[in-house]
């Protein structure tokens, strides 16, 4: 059935059935999974290709940066050309990038593959939500979006454990072979999806309009406060994301699979913070939740730094403070995003894109700094997490004074 023959459902009923929603959940999950699954394999890849920690971290930092930049572009492209063609291109790029990574003979080729992989993965994150908004009855949008969020959170939560097991059993390249298979399954499903956006002729100026929105937002002090808080808070997490595999496997002699299983507690902490945020934010407000999460993350980061300085280098000392940072991020990041989008309702979409990009870009910078300063100890990572958390709490003042 083509997009032109898909019947419109009666008003008041959900328009997105499982025939459409199931492929969208898989596509949404593919990008975050590709980011997380590779983490336990990072030390093995570094040894196999004989590269420095800083060079190895570029497979993370440049992928994150590409992911963030791409999220700014896929939306306007889909407004102009429809959702389905860009989504097909994105899934194909995801597959091509992972094929390149699986056969990469050098670190340069591997980095190129990771960039292509991230470019395609970002399309899934952006366009699946747009397709749900296009076809879903307004009364059911939140429920459908929640299923996409499950696809964004649960598979990435488990993927480090899977990546660690695959690395131990078959080597680090097997992670990318599995991702190619995931991409192939997503491609087969996406090819069967109908087009959902039929008013694209009027969106030819989408990119120019989006850039105009960015220009307006960066001149608003309150927006900068929300966006920069979110970027700094996320940077503390990305610093851990970059440094923890090197420390756990290289210094603490944890196996890749053990590290992957241990990382689940970090994901659960973040999910727990999100669940409490969903309940408490309407009662306490965006700014109180931001401050609570920021302070909790700062406490966790300072404790981690203190343990590192004191020579307490154990798995518990590595993961327990990071759980507090992740829980704090769960409390604060969604609120910071919501605050940024509420500054000027005319540019809510641009605010979401720009604040999301800043989180990825600053996170990529934090990951690369950890790689450049890595010395076999937890000190550079915990120091980066602490500095990022201090900046986040300090930037909160921008929000308060600009009311």
Three-state SS string over 335-371 comes to: HHHHHHHHCCHHHHHHHHHHHHHHHHHHHHHHHHHHH
Residues in the chain predicted with pLDDT less than 70, given as ranges, are 1-20, 133-152, 199-211, 345-349, 400-403
Query: What pLDDT score does 9 carry?
Result: 42
The two three-digit tokens of residue 103, written as one number: 């056969």
Fold (topology level) of 16-204 = Growth Hormone; Chain: A; (1.20.1250)
Cβ atoms within 10 Å of 181's Cβ, excluding its own: 12
C-alpha–C-alpha distance, residues 135 and 132, integer Å? 5
The confidence score (pLDDT) of residue 149 equals 65
pLDDT of residue 313: 93
Cα-Cα-Cα-Cα dihedral sign, residues 105, 116, 247, 161 = negative
Both tokens assigned to 292: 């609570």
Output the pLDDT for position 317.
Answer: 95
Whether 207-403 and 16-204 are alike in CATH topology: the answer is: yes
Instruction: Give residue 62's pLDDT.
Output: 92
Q: How far apart are CA 224 and CA 231, in angstroms?
A: 10
pLDDT at 6: 37
pLDDT (0 to 100) of residue 13: 39
User: Could you give the C-alpha distances from 265 to 177, 318, 326, 367, in angstroms and in order?
Assistant: 26, 12, 9, 20
Whether residue 32 contacts residue 191, with contact meaning beta carbons closer than 8 Å, is answered with no
8 A C-beta contact, residue 238 and residue 387:
no
Domain limits, the chain: 16-204, 207-403
Contact present, 269 and 368 (Cβ < 8 Å): no
- Nearest Cα to 302, choosing from 288, 320, 277? 320
| HSE (side-chain half, CA atoms, 13 Å) at 31 | 32
Q: How many residues does the chain have?
A: 403
SS3 assignment, position 2:
coil
**Inter-residue contact 139 to 12 (CB < 8 Å):** yes
Instruction: Please report, rounded to a whole number, the percentage of residues in the chain having pLDDT higher than 90.
Output: 38
Residues 149 and 56: beta-carbon distance below 8 Å: no
pLDDT digits (tens, 9 = 90+) for 126-177: 787 777 766 665 555 555 555 666 666 778 778 888 999 999 999 999 999 9
Please state, rounded to an integer, the average pLDDT across all residues of the chain.
83
Q: Which residues contact 49 (CB under 8 A, 6 or more apart)?
A: 56, 106, 107, 110
Cα separation of 331 and 327, whole Å?
A: 6
Distance CA 182, CA 171 (A): 18
Give residue-wise pLDDT tens across range 332-358: 888 887 788 778 766 666 777 788 888
CB-hemisphere CA count at 13 Å for 263?
Answer: 33
Instruction: Mention every residue, 6+ apart, whose C-beta is less than 8 A from residue 247.
Output: 313, 318, 377, 378, 381
Write down the architecture of domain 207-403 according to CATH.
Answer: Up-down Bundle (1.20)
Position of tokens 């570094």? Answer: 46
């Amino acid at each position: 059935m083509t997009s032109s023959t898909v019947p419109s459902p009666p008003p008041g009923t959900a328009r997105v059935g499982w025939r459409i929603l199931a492929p969208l959940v898989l596509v949404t999950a593919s990008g975050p999974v590709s980011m997380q699954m590779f983490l336990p394999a990072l030390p093995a890849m570094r040894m196999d290709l004989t590269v420095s920690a800083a060079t190895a971290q570029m497979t993370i930092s440049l992928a994150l940066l590409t992911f963030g930049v791409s999220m700014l572009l896929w939306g306007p492209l889909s407004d102009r050309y429809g959702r389905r063609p860009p989504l097909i291109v994105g899934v194909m790029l995801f597959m091509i990038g992972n094929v390149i990574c699986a056969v990469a003979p050098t670190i340069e080729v591997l980095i190129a593959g990771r960039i292509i992989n991230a470019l395609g993965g970002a399309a899934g994150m952006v366009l699946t939500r747009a397709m749900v908004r296009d076809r879903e009855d307004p009364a059911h949008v939140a429920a459908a979006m929640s299923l996409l969020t499950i696809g964004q959170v649960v598979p990435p939560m488990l993927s480090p454990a899977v990546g660690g097991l695959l690395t131990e059993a078959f080597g680090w390249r097997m992670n990318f072979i599995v991702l190619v298979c995931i991409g192939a399954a997503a491609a087969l499903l996406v090819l069967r999806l109908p087009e959902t956006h039929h008013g694209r002729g009027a969106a030819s100026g989408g990119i120019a309009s989006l850039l105009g929105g960015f220009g307006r937002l960066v001149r608003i002090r309150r927006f900068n406060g929300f966006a920069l808080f979110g970027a700094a808070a996320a940077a503390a997490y990305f610093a851990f994301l970059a440094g923890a595999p090197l420390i756990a496997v290289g210094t603490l002699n944890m196996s890749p699979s053990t590290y992957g299983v241990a990382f689940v507690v970090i994901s659960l902490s973040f999910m727990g913070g999100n669940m409490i945020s969903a309940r408490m934010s309407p009662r306490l407000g965006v700014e109180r939740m931001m401050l609570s999460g920021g302070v909790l993350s700062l406490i966790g980061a300072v404790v981690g730094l203190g343990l590192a300085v004191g020579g307490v280098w154990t798995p518990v000392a590595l993961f327990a403070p990071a759980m507090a940072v992740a829980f704090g991020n769960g409390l604060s990041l969604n609120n910071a995003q919501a605050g940024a989008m509420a500054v000027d309702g005319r540019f809510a979409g641009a605010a979401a894109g720009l604040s999301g990009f800043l989180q990825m870009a600053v996170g990529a910078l934090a990951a690369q700094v950890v790689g450049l300063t890595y010395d076999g100890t937890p000190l550079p990572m915990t120091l980066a997490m602490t500095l990022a958390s201090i900046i986040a709490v300090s930037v909160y003042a921008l929000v308060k004074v600009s009311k």
